[in-house]
Amino acid sequence: MTDTTDDIAEEISFQSFEDDCRLLGSLLNDVLQREVGDQFIQTIERKRILAQSACNMRMAGIEDTAELLEKQLASEMSKMTLQEALTVARAFSHYLTIMGIAETHHRVRKARNAAHLSKSCDDIFNQLIQGGVSPEDLYNTVCKQEVEIVLTAHPTQINRRTLQFKHVRIAQLLEYNDRPDLNHEDREMLIEDLAREITAIWQTDELRRQKPTPVDEARSGLHIVEQSLWKAVPHYLRRVSNALKKHTGRPLPLTCTPIKFGSWMGGDRDGNPNVTAKVTRDVSLLSRWMAIDFYIKEADSLRFELSMNRCNDKLSRLAHEILHKETTTENWHESWNQPSQPQFPFASGITQRKTISESQIGQSNFHKLLEPSLPQFPGIAPYRIVLGNVKEKLMKTRRRLELLLEDHPCDNDSWDYYETSDQLLEPLLLCYESLHSCGSGVLADGRLADLIRRVATFGMVLMKLDLRQESGRHAETLDAIIEYLDMGVYSEWDEDKKLEFLTRELKGKRPLVPHSIQVAPDVKEVLDTFRVAAELGSDSLGAYVISMASNASDVLAVELLQKDARLAVSGELGRPCPGGTLRVVPLFETVKDLREAGSVIKKLLSIDWYREHVIRNHDGHQEVMVGYSDSGKDAGRFTAAWELYKAQEDVVAACNVFGIKVTLFHGRGGSIGRGGGPTYLAIQSQPPGSVMGTLRSTEQGEMVQAKFGLPQTAVRQLEIYTTAVLLATLRPPLPPREEKWRNVMEEISSISCQNYRTTVYENPEFLTYFHEATPQAELGFLNIGSRPTRRKSSTGIGHLRAIPWVFAWTQTRFVLPAWLGVGAGLRGACDKGYTEDLRAMYKEWPFFQSTMDLIEMVLGKADIPIAKHYDEVLVSENRRQLGNELRMELSRTEKYVLVVTGHEKALENNRSLRRLIESRLPYLNPINMLQVEILRRLRCDDDNNELRDALLITINGIAAGMRNTG
């Protein structure tokens, strides 16, 4: 009975999704009718019907007819004029985009209407209590949880920000359309609003004409806070608090926040020469400015709301002290007792009452009223006085930041502005306590509680900025310093000599870098970065991440450069640097480095100075980052997944030896090929003991908008992070049941890696095939990121960044990086008689199950006929055999994945996702075929800007249809 009920609910929900698609599609058709005419709409509709018919035939197993229809569609595409191709590309791209908006709303609606929301705090807290976890343990674990979501500027967000605004507006209108109380007139007005938004989208240029700067990227990240997270965070924390109170009897403490946010936007300089020390400083100050600006608006709203006179003695004394100070210094003004901008309609027509001031009641009487023992004097609203003072200090803080951003001197007294969140929280908490003590708890737990929770979560910077730099740049810097000091060549020393030198210098008290040193620009930039980090301190900055880390000396080198900069800056400022030292986080990325990660951490912690430094300055906490993207490009997705699993086990074991707590930082991309996938699956499949109440994880590119672009989706994602980490902490996933399973994994991984590397790195034809069969070379014209697509000038795949590597294959629907090697590995294991073991591993081992499920998800998105079409038109005849072999390998991979999972076809266990994918195909397949034709023409006429624009629009459309890029 339950299954039937669920099926009916799913059908109703999917019907609503289709209704939304029809509504938006019809409105887009109306726009096209006005813009391009009826005849062209018929052309577009014919292409859609041909594609739909081909899809229907293929799903029915009638392959020959499907192939004929697809050839007819491709032939019609090839006969289009350039202007026709451009218009069709735009039309199908927008169809796919609005379907994506409808799909996001479909997920929001399902969550909203669910009687029992799985993975919610209420659901998981109840499961844990029923499973024997005591209320005390549950409460303490939630309160101690530390999860940080780090937003990055990895260039995978296709849509311009102006279009993102319009997409959000359409999503909001779809939500409004779900209201059951709308009358006919309301609905007509809503349709008109939707039509306006879709018209504006059509008439807006989809393409970025200039590359964004790192500051532009940072603004986009801060925009997510303004657009969504600012509203979502208090809502999410209320959910956590309510669920805790229900299941443990105690709410979440007001200043406790299980999730915080970090950023790499403006701090990630790995291979990006555009991120300079000045950029990092400006972005950090801008983030502070925005935080203060948000708080000023919130304080103003609160001043209007908290108009009551009753308060406790403590708040009364503070209000009187403020009045006394301000009247004495002639700074008191009436607006402190009344809000400057009432937050309700028609406010401009209201005459505000005058407040009682010193000039009105006389000096002697005024000072009597300041006595704490006396009651409130008439006309004074104490909360408004206190919040007026808060607003005044916030405005001075904002002005100070503006002066710093403009490189002007600041001579403010530190008492005049806020430096830390604790300073801002103090008066807010005092107001909160006063309201509760006066019987106004219902007011305290409203907007005021939300503001306190925002301050606790976002602090004074919204998102602390991580710095990231490649390990080789630090070695070059030490080379320059040591050569200047005539001490040798640092990079030629062995690891033991490096560690001996670094440890000795770290224990010393003198600076290492002379003021008079003259160095190359690249080295100067590294030194300048450390100086800026010392000036900003850990109040503004998060971690210092070392990419391509491979040795303990990589970490100590950063610690030494950091120490030296702090000594220099402290001497110049004449006072200690703000905050503490940044925690240094090695990032292990390649398979080789992942295999050595445990021994590197063990070596590092065995150094007395470093271990004591971690205990003293970082609360005995070591953070280690593992990279998913480069390991996948290095050895294939399956081998990367297994090496990441073992590396985490080794790092945890190494830290346990020394009694050091560990936080693992997961550098996950958006696509499966770069370690992406559903958050819950990813966290639940980590090794036991690797998630002990703490976790950091990147969210990149288009996934930032997809997960956090709307308040409703953001609340859901934050809840999923919380419950997944909680389960992994209190009910860790099972390890492999038998040692034999680990041996099977080694077998699969070895064969998989060999197959992958033989194809990608050892086949001399592969690189050329890759360039011919995909639009990789053309991706650089998208202007979607500030950094180059390659770390070095080499044309090989080794130095190509993981994002364009995955992005290019996603465009052709081949998604090769996510599956290549998997089929060979599984086939090898099955041939050795491990089939039943593999099926048992899938059923009982969460890590293996999630790995298989993610690969199966990719196979559900892959499309062999479309990939074949790219080869037939674009690839040289002597290399088409390679493409044919790869497509056969994809088919074999699907066969063996289904053998392991026991499913008849891909995504059998996720019917909802399969239906959503199938619904996009009538729009996605034509735009793929159009891309092939445009690529063919462009490669014969590569200076044609209109052709290039048409190609970039097809790239946008396919990204929208695949729901991810790189």
Q: What is the pLDDT of residues 462-488, one digit of tens each?
A: 999 999 999 999 999 999 999 999 999
Segment among 255-259, 287-291, 341-345, 954-958 with least mean pLDDT: 341-345
Q: What percent of the chain has pLDDT over 90?
A: 66
451 domain-assigned: yes
Give whole-number Cα distances, 646 to 391, 638, 741, 822, 862, in Å: 51, 13, 13, 18, 29
Q: How far apart are CA 186 and CA 182, in angstroms?
A: 6
Known catalytic residue: 184?
no
- The CA distance from 110 to 119, in Å, is 14
Helix (H) or strand (E) holding 470: strand 464-470
Catalytic residue among 106, 154, 464, 498: 154
Higher-scoring residue by pLDDT: 336, 243: 243
Instruction: Looking at the structure, tell me whether residues 773 and 863 fall in a common domain.
Output: yes
Has residue 661 been placed in a domain?
yes
Mean pLDDT calculated for residue range 698-718: 88
Domain boundary (868, 888, 909) is at: 909
**pLDDT above 60: residue 3:** no
With a cut of 80, say whether residue 793 has pLDDT above it.
no
Confidence of residue 782 (pLDDT cuts 50, 70, 90): low
DSSP state of 860: H
Higher pLDDT, 966 or 565: 565
* Minimum mean pLDDT range among 345-349, 393-397, 727-731, 805-809: 345-349
3-state secondary structure at position 254: coil
Give me the mean pLDDT over the 436-463 stretch.
Answer: 96
**pLDDT value at residue 327:** 67
What rounded mean pLDDT belongs to the chain?
A: 87
Mean pLDDT value across residues 194-200: 95
115 in a structural domain: no
Which of 185-189, 397-401, 569-573, 854-858 has the weakest average pLDDT?
569-573
Please state which of the ranges 78-92, 319-333, 833-847 shows the lowest mean pLDDT: 319-333
Q: What pLDDT score does 772 carry?
A: 95
Given pLDDT bands bounded at 50, 70 and 90, which one contains residue 541?
very high
Beta strands in 259-412 (DSSP E): 259-263
The reply to whether 905 and 800 lie within a common domain is yes
Residue 343 clears pLDDT 50, i.e. is over it: no
Answer yes or no: is pLDDT of 187 > 50. Answer: yes
Per-residue confidence (pLDDT) for residue 301, from 0 to 100: 93
3-state secondary structure of 578: coil
Same domain, 452 and 508: no
Nearest Cα neighbor of 826 from 906, 891, 759, 752 is: 752
Catalytic annotation present for 633: yes
* Residue range of the domain that includes 583: 464-667
Average pLDDT (535-547) is 94
Q: Which long-range contacts (CB under 8 A, 24 or more apart) does 502-507 make?
A: 502/553, 502/556, 502/557, 502/559, 502/560, 503/556, 503/607, 503/609, 503/610, 505/560, 506/556, 506/559, 506/560, 506/563, 506/609, 506/613, 507/609
Q: What is the pLDDT of residues 944-957, one digit of tens each?
A: 888 888 888 898 88
Span 879-914, pLDDT tens digits: 999 999 999 999 999 999 999 999 988 888 888 888
From the list 633, 666, 868, 869, the catalytic residue is: 633
644 and 785 both lie in a single domain: no
Same domain as 426, residue 313? yes
Structurally, the chain folds into a number of domains equal to 3
| Residue finishing a domain among 457, 472, 500 | 457
The one-character DSSP state at 672 is G
Same domain, residue pair 508 and 423:
no
* 3-state SS, residue 584: strand
pLDDT for 346 beyond 70: no
Residue 142 lies in a domain: no
Cβ count near 296 (within 10 Å): 18
Exposure string over 96-114, b if 16+ CB within 10 A, otherwise e: bbbbbbbbbbbbbbbbeee
Q: 411: domain CATH number?
A: 1.20.1440.90
Q: Are residues 450 and 470 in the same domain?
A: no
Residue type, position 865, single letter? P
- Asked whether residue 789 falls in the same domain as residue 820, the answer is yes
pLDDT at 500 over 80: yes
Which of 190-204, 399-413, 458-472, 643-657 shows the lowest mean pLDDT across its residues?
Answer: 399-413
- Asked whether residue 480 falls in the same domain as residue 498, the answer is yes
Q: What is the mean pLDDT of residues 629-637?
A: 86
Task: Look at residue 79 and tell me whether its pLDDT is greater than 80.
Answer: yes
| Statement to judge: residues 514 and 451 lie in one domain | no
Whether the pLDDT of residue 137 is over 60: the answer is yes
User: Is position 792 within any domain?
Assistant: yes
Both tokens of residue 397? 């803080």
Q: What is the pLDDT of residues 711-721, one digit of tens each?
A: 999 999 999 99
CA neighbor of 101 nearest in space, from 166, 154, 157, 152: 166
Any domain includes 487: yes
Share of the chain above pLDDT 70, in %: 89
Question: To 10 degrees, the CA torsion angle through 856, 766, 590, 664?
Answer: -30
Contacts of 828 (CB under 8 A, 6+ apart): 747, 748, 751
Confidence grade of residue 574 (pLDDT, cut at 50, 70, 90): low
Is pLDDT of 344 > 50?
A: no
Query: Does the structure show a pLDDT above 60 at 330?
Result: no
Q: Are residues 644 and 741 in the same domain?
A: no
Closest among 860, 849, 642 to 734, alpha carbons compared: 849
Lowest mean pLDDT, pick from 366-370, 654-658, 769-773, 834-838: 366-370
One domain, residues 540 and 623: yes
**What residues contact residue 850 under an 8 Å CB cut-off, 6+ apart?**
677, 681, 682, 684, 685
pLDDT by residue (tens digit) across 676-688? Answer: 667 887 888 889 8
Task: Report pLDDT for 363.
Answer: 38
Residue 504: inside a domain, yes or no? yes
Residue after which a domain boundary falls, among 634, 667, 700: 667
Does 505 reside within a domain? yes
Higher pLDDT, 796 or 740: 740
> Which residues are CB-neighbours of 171 under 8 A, at least 6 positions away?
101, 104, 105, 710
